[in-house]
Amino acid sequence: MLGPPPGAELQPLVSRLAGERRLHGMCQTTPRGVVVEVEGEPAQLDEFRAALERQRPAQAVVEAIERERFDRVVAPFRARNEPGAWHASTEAKPDLVLCESCRGELFDPNNRRYRYPFINCAHCGPRSSIVDRLPYTRANTSMRGFSMCHACQREYHDPLDRRYHAEPNACPVCGPHVALWDAAGVVVAERNSALTAAANAIRAGRIMAVKSPGGFRLAVDATDEAAVLRLRARQHGDDTPFIVMCPDFEFVQMCARFGADEARLLASIYAPIVLVDPRLDHPEALAPSVLGGSRQLGVMLPSTPLQVLLMRDLRRPIALTSSPRPGELPCVDDREVVARFGGIADGFLVHNRPVLHPLHDSVVRVFGGAGSSASAAVDVSPVA
């Protein structure tokens, strides 16, 4: 018995592993999780189990394993599902960080999703940030306005494909796309050109409002003291600490001191903000005003494909805040963002997939000495 994620996310892997070893049996999705029955020689079963443990999605949990002898039934491996089992969960699952398979496609010039900011599969991508009601089906998410092209439909309906029943499945032909607006809300670039132009604007010291899964975030070059001070001045001098998003671990090491537990949290599939000690011996790596009135630094790594692309183009950390002024909820509406961020943002990196709810990232801090795994996660409204 395998616990969540839903069977749609596990069936392609289970079916492939069983088929490679010519095992018989079935994979059944139930409201509780996935039940896998495999028939074969003991050595084959041991190999299957080991491969499943190695390759299972990080969010999947093996809850129970039972083994028994019986007369072998020669039948092809098949997938089977209880009615409604795909979407029986009564809770919205959290968004998952871009997986390595999708990351490889994202930077493969020969892939049809090359540099596509909304690439995802059954093992990564948006969940709770795009759903407005249960059950979790495409029709109940902000993807309902995008009809899948034939190529995406083939993936979605193929039990051996890792995009099998991936509800946000899309590509540049049929899915959302990004655009860059100027301070007045006029479109100045679209698609990949918008990403490149936004990165250039941040590098030049401009303040950009970037549309994220939970709403718009103000972004500025975290190494540019003048740009950070300009953002604080436009926010009326508030000293709330900014969150810093780093392109990769190399930049985190330049900005902060952290241990193995913090590193593990930063690299986790949920990509939280992790509170760490700033490195004051490398002042050139971070503008001093990023910290505001705080002694600790909140850092995170890019988790969405849009963030990964933006940070790859920038190659420097950015300081983020989720509201134009302290105490306000993040803005989620494209029609309101120019008015709410007027006089603060120099431009807007937007996209046409609606944000349904204002959301904040989890903020995590490790307590205890080196090697301690104790932590606490809280939602912090001023930073997201």
Give, to the nearest 10 degrees, the angle between helix 191-203 and helix 305-314: 50
C-beta neighbour count of 171 within 10 angstroms = 17
Identify whether residues 257 and 141 lie together within a single domain. Answer: no
Sign of CA dihedral 93, 96, 101, 106: positive
What is the per-residue pLDDT for 133? 85
Could you tell me which residue, 76 or 300, shows the higher pLDDT?
Answer: 300
Q: Are 347 and 209 in contact (CB under 8 A)?
A: yes
Residues 6+ apart with CB under 8 A from 95: 125, 126, 127, 128, 129, 213, 270, 303, 304
First to last CA, the chain: 36
* 222 against 269, higher pLDDT: 222
Do 219 and 212 form a contact (C-beta atoms < 8 A)? no
pLDDT of 11 strictly over 60: yes
| Domain closes at, from 150, 176, 202 | 176
pLDDT at residue 262 is higher than 80: yes
Q: What is the CATH number of the domain that holds 60?
A: 3.30.70.100
Mean pLDDT lowest among 38-52, 58-72, 99-113:
58-72
**Residue span of the structural domain in which 47 resides:** 7-87
Residue 317 maps to a domain? yes
Q: Are 310 and 198 in contact (CB under 8 A)?
A: yes
Average pLDDT over residues 290-314: 91
Tell me, yes or no, whether 198 and 328 share the same domain.
Answer: yes
Q: Supply the pLDDT for residue 301.
A: 93
Kindly state the average pLDDT of the residues 358-372: 69
66 and 46 together in one domain? yes
296 and 242, same structural domain? yes
Same domain, 159 and 195: no
Please tell me what DSSP assigns to residue 238. -
CATH code of 104's domain:
3.90.870.30
**Domain boundary, last residue among 55, 87, 119:** 87
What is the predicted pLDDT for the residue at 64?
Answer: 67
Rounded to two decimals, what is the model's pTM?
0.79
Cα torsion through 254, 256, 260, 266, rounded to 10: -90
Same domain? 168 vs 182: no
Which band of pLDDT confidence, cut at 50, 70 and 90, is reported for residue 260? confident
Average pLDDT over residues 188-195: 95
- The pLDDT of residue 87 is 44
Q: What is the pLDDT of residue 300?
A: 92
Whether residue 245 sits in one domain with residue 195: yes
Q: What is the largest CA-CA distance in the chain?
A: 76
Residue 384 lies in a domain: no
Q: Is the pLDDT of residue 92 over 70?
A: no
CA 86 to chain centre: 21
Q: What is the mean pLDDT of residues 112-125?
A: 94
Contact yes or no for 97/307 (Cβ under 8 A): no
* Predicted pLDDT at 364: 83
Looking up residue 362, the CATH number of its domain turns out to be: 3.90.870.10
Percentage of residues in the chain with pLDDT exceeding 90?
38
Can you tell me the mean pLDDT for 210-228? 92
Amino acid at the residue 340 = R
Q: What percent of the chain has pLDDT over 70?
A: 80
Question: Do 263 and 319 fall within a single domain?
Answer: yes
- What is the average pLDDT across 78-87? 48
- Residue listed under structure tokens 């969540």: 4
pLDDT for 384: 34
What pLDDT is recorded for position 283? 59
Mean pLDDT of the residues in the chain: 81
Q: Which residues contact 43 (CB under 8 A, 6 or more apart)?
A: none
Structure token pair of residue 113: 């999703």
Tell whether the model's pLDDT for residue 274 goes beyond 80: yes
Could you tell me the pLDDT band of residue 3, with boundaries at 50, 70 and 90?
A: very low
Q: How confident is the model at residue 207 (pLDDT cuts 50, 70, 90)?
A: very high
Placement of tokens 């490398």 in the chain = 282
Instruction: Choose from 65-69, 234-238, 325-329 the range with maximum mean pLDDT.
Output: 234-238
**89 has pLDDT over 70:** no
The total domain count for the chain is: 3
Give the domain-ending residue among 66, 87, 108. 87
pLDDT tens string 49-81: 888 777 776 666 666 677 777 665 555 565 554
Do 165 and 194 lie in one domain? The reply is no
Q: Does residue 374 carry a pLDDT above 80?
A: no
Strand partners, 363: 273, 378
Q: Are residues 151 and 218 in the same domain?
A: no
Q: Are residues 50 and 94 in the same domain?
A: no
Q: Which residue has the tokens 């953002």?
A: 231
pLDDT digits (tens, 9 = 90+) for 12-37: 777 777 777 777 777 766 656 667 77
H-only helix segments in 210-275: 225-234, 249-255, 260-266
Q: Do 310 and 374 belong to one domain?
A: yes
Task: Examine the pLDDT at 361 and tell me if it is beyond 80.
Answer: no
At residue 379, what is the residue type? D
